[in-house]
Amino acid sequence: MIHLSKVNKSYDTVKVLMDCSLTVKKGEVVVICGPSGSGKSTLIKTLNALEPIQSGEIITNGLSVHDAATNLSALRSQVGMVFQHFELFPHLSVLDNLRLAQIQVLGRDHSEATQRAQSLLARVGLQAHANKFPAQLSGGQQQRVAIARALAMDPVVMLFDEPTSALDPEMVGEVLDVMVQLAQEGMTMMCVTHEMGFARRVAHRVIFMDSGRILEDCSSAEFFGDVTQRTPRAQEFLSKVLAH
């Protein structure tokens, strides 16, 4: 489903990704964790070409992401993405947030797009808010709308970039619930997150990054199991995030 080999990326002289290679199979849920500035978010944004790379290759759903001949619009519409700060379109109603790309990119007609939007809003428990504007919703509700907006494109894989980091603690649960449900339905997911509970419970695999390198790539059972088997950097990270 997703395949990275020897991906390198740098901003001027600063290397942000170094020789990153990994494979994600269909139906897998992969959590990427690591200290801030380790390149997690950058990595996930290279998968749909929101970030360019300098060398290496990324294949997402059979398409070479950074090949000039690739139809980026078609590729991106198959890859759902959820952002830390929601990024709903504030000038559009919730319904129009979900409809716009269905109509403009997939060419669905208005009623079909509305139907799909409404069934997804029902699924994330927000059908009553269809005609509101994003600013009228809480953070947790906005993020659930953002997930529904991504799902409306019927993506084959979902990417989450710290989806709960900007939320009030009370609202983290409602967003994670939606993500857990998605994972249980067999959606292929890659998720940058600090929610270790979610990683332990839902993820099949955990990837640990530091300074632009992938240091650990193992099953979540292994990752949270025998800590002494981990790299020293991962041990240090785990001891801090799991301490409390």
Partner 1 sequence: MTFDFTFFSGSLLQTYVLHGFLFSLQLTVLATCGGIVLGTVLALMRLSQRALFHWPATVYVNGMRSIPLVMVLLWFFLLMPFLLGRPIGAEISAVITFIAFEAAFFCEIVRSGIQSIPKGQTSAALALGLSQQQTLRWIVLPQALRNMTPILLTQVIILFQDTSLVYAIGAYDMLKGFEIAGKNSGRPVEAYLAAALIYFLICFSLSQLVRHLQQRTSFTK
Q: Which residues bind partner 1 (CB under 8 A)?
A: 45, 48, 50, 72-77, 79, 81, 83, 85, 87-91, 100-101, 104-106, 133, 135, 149-150, 153
Cβ atoms of 47 and 58 within 8 Å: the answer is: yes
Distance CA 184, CA 201 (A): 11
User: Is 134 or 205 the residue whose CB approaches partner 1 more closely?
Assistant: 134
What's the closest the beta carbon of residue 225 comes to partner 1, in angstroms? 35
User: Is 105 or 221 the residue whose CB approaches partner 1 more closely?
Assistant: 105
What's the closest the beta carbon of residue 22 comes to partner 1, in angstroms? 20
What's the closest the beta carbon of residue 105 comes to partner 1, in angstroms? 4
User: Is 133 or 224 the residue whose CB approaches partner 1 more closely?
Assistant: 133
Cβ atoms of 153 and 102 within 8 Å: the answer is: yes
> Which single residue is written with the structure tokens 């990054």?
209
Cβ atoms of 113 and 131 within 8 Å: the answer is: no
What's the closest the beta carbon of residue 101 comes to partner 1, in angstroms? 4
What's the closest the beta carbon of residue 169 comes to partner 1, in angstroms? 23
Cβ atoms of 207 and 38 within 8 Å: the answer is: no
User: Is 71 or 228 the residue whose CB approaches partner 1 more closely?
Assistant: 71
Cβ atoms of 33 and 206 within 8 Å: the answer is: yes
Residues with Cβ within 8 Å of 2's Cβ and at least 6 positions away in sequence, in order, are 22, 23, 24, 47, 58, 59, 60, 61, 157, 188, 190
User: Is 80 or 208 the residue whose CB approaches partner 1 more closely?
Assistant: 80
15 token code pair: 């290397």
What's the closest the beta carbon of residue 205 comes to partner 1, in angstroms? 23
User: Is 74 or 221 the residue whose CB approaches partner 1 more closely?
Assistant: 74
What are the Cα distances from residue 135, in Å, to 89, 132, 141? 10, 8, 10
